[in-house]
Structure 1
Amino acid sequence: MRDLLIAVRDALRASPVLNYVRGCDVYVTPYEGFIPHGAKFPALGVKDGDVVRKELAGGYLDETLRVTVCVYSQEHDPEEAVIGNTRRQGIVDIARDVNRVLDENLLGLDGMISAFCAREAASELFGDDRELLQRKLLTFEFIRERKRP
């Protein structure tokens, strides 16, 4: 999982598709609601998820590794936070671009055979009375086959 989290973070940071997100605002997160101090928006948190294993013949394992990308957007106009405007991407645009970067991207990891977004949650208002954000969670499933340790 460690290598996968780093690879997802680095792919999102390096992609020209997401050139409107600062590299330092793409981070591995300890929980889905964590935003580092000093982050600017949009921001992307990469969260580890469940690992499901199936035993295969010949001493191999099939692993499904889930990673959630937490997309955060800030906009003073509630409608623009969701659908964007001519100056900025809304949360649905950012989610689309994250999908463009990670869908079918095996990230150069050994044994990886599949990568896709299995679930995209509805966007939601997130924050407190000092700062309101829009958040959308995208759960990716990376499937890997490997020799049993």
Structure 2
Amino acid sequence: MNRKRLGGLIKTIEAEITLGIFDYQKYFLKSKSAVKFKEIEQRETNAIQALKAPNSPRLAEFADIWLKEKKIEWSKGHYDDVDGILTKYLIPMFGNQKISGITKQQILQFRSILTKVPGQKEGCLGPITHQPYYDAAKNVDQ
């Protein structure tokens, strides 16, 4: 009987995750992680509201705040990689633009420019380096 109930609960949770309506705290009331997930959700909500606001921040300002928030979540190596990409490529290109004003076309054009930039090894930057920019461009204007 318990396995049957648990199976139903798993299906419900998976469906909520798929629909994007899963509330961790609803199922795991006493979990310490619930507070952490709630904080992350609140930051995401605040970020979306800030980006849609007419006075949205410039990319350089937003990147600085975002990096500080992510520093505690990421390994030092990953943080350094992202910081390097921002500093070397994104900030010079988009740093003075408001985030809400950066278009999908600009991101795709920037991505094509990156394919011509010499990499650390032989050849130019590979898809791994500029894939995040392409992914971001797919989400612009949607």
User: Counting strand residues as a fraction of each chain, which structure ranks higher?
Assistant: 1
Larger RCO, structure (CA 8 Å, separation 6 or more): 1
Indicate whether the TM-score tops 0.5.
Answer: no
Higher helix residue share: 2
Q: TM-score, normalised by structure 1?
A: 0.25
Bigger radius of gyration: 2
Question: What TM-score, normalized by structure 2, do the two folds share?
Answer: 0.26
